[in-house]
Amino acid sequence: MPAFRYRAVAATGDARHGAVEAPDLDAAIAQVHAMGLTPIELAPRAAAARRPRALPIFGGRVGTRDLILFTRQLETMLDAGLPLVTALGMLREQATNRMLREAIDQIRGDIAQGSTLTEAVARHPRCFPELYASLIHAGEESGLLTEMLDRIASILEYSEETDQRLRSATFYPMVIGIELVVAFLVLVKFVLPRFASLFRGLGSELPLPTRVLMGISDFFDTQWFLVLFVVIAGAIGGVLWSRTPAGRRRLDELVLAVPVFGVVLGKLVVSRFIRVLAALLTAGIPVVRALDIARGVLGNKVVEDEVDRMRDGVVAGQGLTDPVRGSKVIPPLVVEIIGVGEETGALDKMLARGAAYLDRDVDYALKNLSAALEPMILAVLGGVILFTALAVFLPLWNLMNAFRH
């Protein structure tokens, strides 16, 4: 359907601009009038201008830190009174990420040709997520672009901070797990074979731990190519399976079911959703549209399905809370906070309070994640060491007893 860019005046005298989709010019004028605006200028927007722009394939990716720096700098320059095109030109020279630099250059050119910042940003989905473009649009419509840029930067900073803390909390367990696997493989492949001939020459039945470990050692020694093939095929198959809808959902279910870690991750995902939804509703974006946008930042199919239930409830007139009561993902207190917000007509404020509550909960959980994982790590580590020690030393103990007798 053709798109038309308009410039209009509201009943309050404020200037408005944007775009509407309509089959023809008369229908576009009717849509602008239906929004309570008086159109001043209305013109078709070229289809090519709406297509996402091509960016360098080998330019790397735009990370969250790059977006935070760009957003904070743009907010500061606009707050200081610099024109948007001038600010973008300065940021283009300062950008170190090639993909972001090319995107800024194209955005600056589009704005100079008459596009809005929302339209220009939306043409670069590889650099700017839908949430970014939606909040920019809300800022332009309300005339509070700098305040909205500050809100976007705060959301990105919160996301980057929590992700960094989650990586830090899980770094120690991952290192211990990798070292344990490497040590076990070295033992099975290089150490145990040296004792194998001695153990087999004892002439008596070997203990069960020793037989198990020697069986593993023999298998790795004779069938290493099969093990390598199974590992590679399993990794490729797992990646392909995880990209299917059923596989992704099952994988996300398993992640959330992991003891300790799954609980923390679930709280983190729900906290991010509530915070983003609160920001969108505060910016004046309709509930259904806000749910669609917030759903895209979750990265977990299980929670996404819960959001879909909330959206379907809103469309059906049931509200946000009824479809997710009893949910295993969204905490009951958060459901009640949303319910109070719906009843009082202050949903955005209550969501902000719910986000603050979840932030404290996530902060506490992340601080205690390593401490909670340590007993599990020690239990696994102790079990492996005990099994290996029994497998190696029980035959030697039997051999020493045989020499004594």
Q: Which of 140-144, 247-251, 382-386 has the lowest mean pLDDT?
A: 140-144
- Are the C-beta atoms of residues 266 and 361 closer than 8 Å to each other? no
Nearest by Cα to 103 from 69, 149, 64, 54: 54
Q: Residues 45-73: what's their mean pLDDT? A: 62
Work out the burial of residue 380: count CB atoms within 10 Å of its CB; fewer than 13 is exposed, 13-18 middle, 19 or more buried.
Answer: middle
Q: Which of 358, 321, 356 is nearest to 340 (CA)?
A: 321
Q: Is the pLDDT of residue 368 over 90?
A: no
Q: pTM (2 decimals)?
A: 0.65
Q: How many CB atoms lie within 10 A of CB 286?
A: 11
Q: Enumerate residues 6+ apart whose C-beta is below 8 A from 190.
A: none
Task: Locate all alpha helices (DSSP H) within 113-207, ordered by sequence.
Answer: 117-122, 130-142, 145-186, 192-200
Q: Which fold has domain 261-367?
A: Receptor-associated Protein (1.20.81)
Mean local confidence (pLDDT), 304-309: 85
Q: What is the pLDDT of residues 82-104, one digit of tens each?
A: 888 888 989 988 888 888 889 99
Range of lowest pLDDT (13-22, 315-324, 345-354)? 13-22
Interstrand relation of 37-44 and 3-10 (parallel, antiparallel or unpaired)? antiparallel
Instruction: Express each pLDDT in 32-46 by its tens digit.
Output: 788 877 776 666 654
Terminal-residue alpha carbon distance, the chain: 95
Average pLDDT of the segment spanning 269-282: 84
pLDDT at 2: 62
In eight-state DSSP terms, residue 346 is: -
pLDDT(215) > 80: yes
Looking at residue 336, its pLDDT comes to 84
Write out the two tokens for 220: 């790795």
Q: Compute the mean pLDDT over every residue in the chain, rounded to the nearest whole number.
A: 79
Domain ranges across the chain: 3-45, 64-157, 261-367
DSSP state of 324: G
Categorize the per-residue pLDDT at 266 as very low, low, confident or very high, splitting at 50, 70 and 90. Answer: confident
In this prediction, residue 204 carries a pLDDT of: 61
CATH assignment, 64-157: 1.20.81.30
